[in-house]
Structure 1
């Protein structure tokens, strides 16, 4: 389990780097678009669709990493007051919901990407389906990361529950 978790940690780190680079690129492209529109009076046609595609990448990959790291919002007041066994049950129910949600995102993202892959985006010439690829990958990563959380929670390999409790205690 530790080897799988280490591999998923690398995937999460790479995803976070891609998200950060995408955010910086989107900011630079948007700044160029504003400069082109108001200073040069000639806005580049490729900047808006490129920014939207980059935004999808950093939002969905970043959200998947947020699921893995436990940074998403939650109603934690009940969890802080519970003993370990009920806490594990409630956290697992939450992770199961995220798995189903992530699998739904992955399935419908794939369906949207496959259905629009042959339609090019006019301004940049890329397939329209590339806009839905981060939805698919982000959803699948959310599901995989939630499965990892459940496996770690119930294995003796890693004290995930204690780490989760410490995170809850710092919030409360």
Structure 2
């Protein structure tokens, strides 16, 4: 992505002949980075949630709140995948003039990211139900103020 953007800047300001495909290709790659990165954030437990509250609550209420959060994130990921699919299917027959590929490809990161968010959220819920540890939610004793 950085190389494409640098190439576009070089073409625009030095050669005065900017390639037309570099900007849409960079935007497409950015979509993949953002949506796959958000799925990794869900997997690692860095998504929005009850983080401030859960570190001070006892175990049972903490587990309930985190599970509610994971259920909400699962629904969001499912909606993201479903509506991303509808966008991709509805625009698949249109061709991007700059990239010469179907416009629907630009919506595939929504589908893949949404499916991964669902899978990772379900994994977190199942790990919790199985009683496996969740190290990202444990309070670090070194962080406590004496």
TM-score relative to the length of structure 1? 0.79
Listed as ranges, the gaps of 5+ residues in structure 1 are 1-25
TM-fit CA distance, 1:171: 7.1
- CA distance in 2: counterparts of 1:108 and 1:167, whole angstroms: 37
Q: Is the 8 A contact 2:44 2:136 kept in 1?
A: no
Aligned to 1:53: 28
Larger radius of gyration: 2
- 1:128 to 1:168, Cα distance in 2 relative to 1, 3 A: farther
Aligned to 1:166: 138
Aligned to 1:77: 52
Q: Which of 112, 115, 118 matches 1:140?
A: 115
Aligned to 1:99: 74
- 1:66 to 1:38, Cα distance in 2 relative to 1, 3 A: same
TM-fit CA distance, 1:76: 2.1
Aligned to 1:39: 14
Listed as ranges, the gaps of 5+ residues in structure 2 are none
Count of paired positions: 144
Any idea what the Cα deviations from partners look like across 1:61-113, whole Å, max 9, x if unmatched? 11001100012344422111111111000000000000000000000000000
Higher relative helix content? 1
Q: Is the 8 A contact 1:76 1:168 kept in 2?
A: no
- 1:90 to 1:127, Cα distance in 2 relative to 1, 3 A: same
SS of the equivalent of 1:113 reads: helix
- 1:137 to 1:168, Cα distance in 2 relative to 1, 3 A: farther
- CA distance in 2: counterparts of 1:100 and 1:40, whole angstroms: 48
TM-score relative to the length of structure 2? 0.92
